[in-house]
Amino acid sequence: MSREATINTKTVAKNALLEAGMRVMIEKGYSNTGIQEVLDATNVPKGSFYYYFDSKEDFALQIIDYFDRAGEEFMSKFLDNKNVSPLERLKLYCQEKKKMLESDHCRKGCLIGNLSQEMSDQSEVLRARLEEVLTKYRNRLARCIKEGQEKGEINSALDHIQLAEFFQSGMHGAVMRAKTTKTSAPLQSFFDIIFGQILKA
């Protein structure tokens, strides 16, 4: 095999492990995710896991990065869409989140939220990375909220960062509750209040 083909095979194998790991970890959490289970879900030869990852913690860190690339794209698609107003962007973003949760039958939720809850006290390395990602997402939401405030369509009485923080953590709480009730009603109820009472100009 040429050097390029080898690099390509390695990238494919690594991505397969990240994809499978992400799928298992989002549903079962970090502690409950077995490396063997992840390997079984891929065609990657057993025993090669530690060729790609230093440890399970390193695997989780790289899963977070892998998830984050898709997360960034997802946020960009909705929050940077200049064809619609900032408030409308936020609404469409929320509708899509709800649709995704429903298509998962209110299972799984958000990888970043789940790992934050589970791992913030267990691994300083994961906590720090999760905080970084959450802050980045919050800042994206804040930017959109600020644009809406400048256009006069979002309540300007509150700081855009504080609003975004509230929006983000409220959504995580509502997703958590939706997972427990196995209905998306808590998410809808959250949207009704956040748009009807808080963001409303």
Residue at 113: amino acid letter: G
Identity of the residue, 81 or 188, whose beta carbon is nearer to a second copy in the bound complex: 188
Cβ atoms of residues 160 and 149 within 8 Å? yes
For CA atoms 105, 174, 180, 128, the dihedral sign is positive
The binding track of 3-32 with respect to a second copy, each residue x by CB under 8 A or -, is: ------------------------xxx-xx
Q: Which of 72, 194, 83 is nearest to 145 (CA)?
A: 194
**Binding marks (x or -) toward a second copy, 123..142, rule CB under 8 A?**
----x--xx--x--------
> What dihedral angle (degrees, nearest 10) is formed by the CA atoms of 111, 113, 115, 116?
160
What is the closest distance, in whole angstroms, from the C-beta atom of residue 174 to a second copy in the complex? Answer: 5
Binders of a second copy among residues 162 to 191 (CB under 8 A) are 162-163, 165-166, 168-174, 176-177, 179-182, 186, 189-190
Count of beta carbons in the 10 Å neighbourhood of residue 81? 15
Contact 184/106 with Cβ under 8 angstroms? Answer: yes
- Minimum Å gap between C-beta 8 and a second copy is 35
Task: Say how far apart CA 164 and CA 128 lie, in whole Å.
Answer: 20
Closer to a second copy by Cβ: residue 13 or 170: 170
> Footprint of a second copy on this chain (CB under 8 A)?
27-29, 31-32, 107-109, 113-114, 116-118, 120-122, 127, 130-131, 134, 158, 162-163, 165-166, 168-174, 176-177, 179-182, 186, 189-190, 192-193, 197-198
